Amino acid sequence: MKFSNSYEDARRAEAYATLEFPGTYYLAYRDLPKIIYGHVKGINALDFGCGTGRSTRFLKKLGLRTIGVDIAEPMILKARERDPHGEYRCVKDGDFSSLKKNSYDLVLSVFTFDNIPTKEKKVGLFKGLGTLLKTNGKIVNVVSSPVIYTHEWASFSTKDFPESAAAKSGDIVRIVQTDISDARPVEDILWTVASYEAVYSLAGLEIAKTYRPLARENEPHQWVNETRIPPWVIYVLKKKM
């Protein structure tokens, strides 16, 4: 099955523009302030794969000077509409030439690598992002855990795609987002922990810390499996010394 980027789509961008941090998404962002403040020194940030600007706005509220970049023009247009004073750039796939090297304290990438096929492509992008970091800069990469495609969640459904249980690293998997009006399945690329470790190493990066946030019973969300199975993995990456 040929992979297509589900996010290069005006209808999807329209739906995403209203999305903030409901349900399962909350867990992807809940611990980011503490993680960022604990690992990042400085305020220059890049939101790589910013979509409609949700993560960019999030970083700006943390006091970081942030630029959002994405390859999907419909998403960038919505980001600028939501945040007219923000800086959002539509870039060509894999082209970092408009961004200054050795100048970012933080590169945040939330869910972007769920939609990037092949090890070679991932390695190339991480190498490029590494050149943008200051010496002690960090990449915070938030990705879907493989188990997200085989369980039900507050914000996602996978029950219509039982074939995902047999998926291996690099296979296309599908998931439905239940917090937006666009009910079309999203195609992602399943990528295992071991595969990410290999990609990071080949890109000249190493893992400084890994986080797997679990939900708490007292949080104001209708959890399904989030209290016992972590749907997200958060990697903090640094350059190899």
Query: pLDDT of 45-103, one tens digit each?
Result: 999 999 999 999 999 999 999 999 999 999 999 999 999 999 999 999 999 999 999 99
pLDDT, tens digit (0-9, with 9 covering 90-100), for 162-180: 999 999 999 999 999 999 8
In this model, does residue 18 exceed pLDDT 80? no
pTM: predicted TM-score of the whole model, two decimal places = 0.94
Fold annotation for 10-239: Rossmann fold (3.40.50)
Q: Residue 77: what pLDDT?
A: 95
Q: Residue 90: what pLDDT?
A: 96
Q: Residue 75: what pLDDT?
A: 92
Nearest to 22 by CA among 221, 227, 205: 221
Dihedral in degrees, nearest 10, Cα atoms 166, 27, 187, 222: 80
Q: Residue 17: what pLDDT?
A: 74
C-alpha distance across the termini of the chain, in Å: 40
Tokens 């700006």 sit on residue = 60
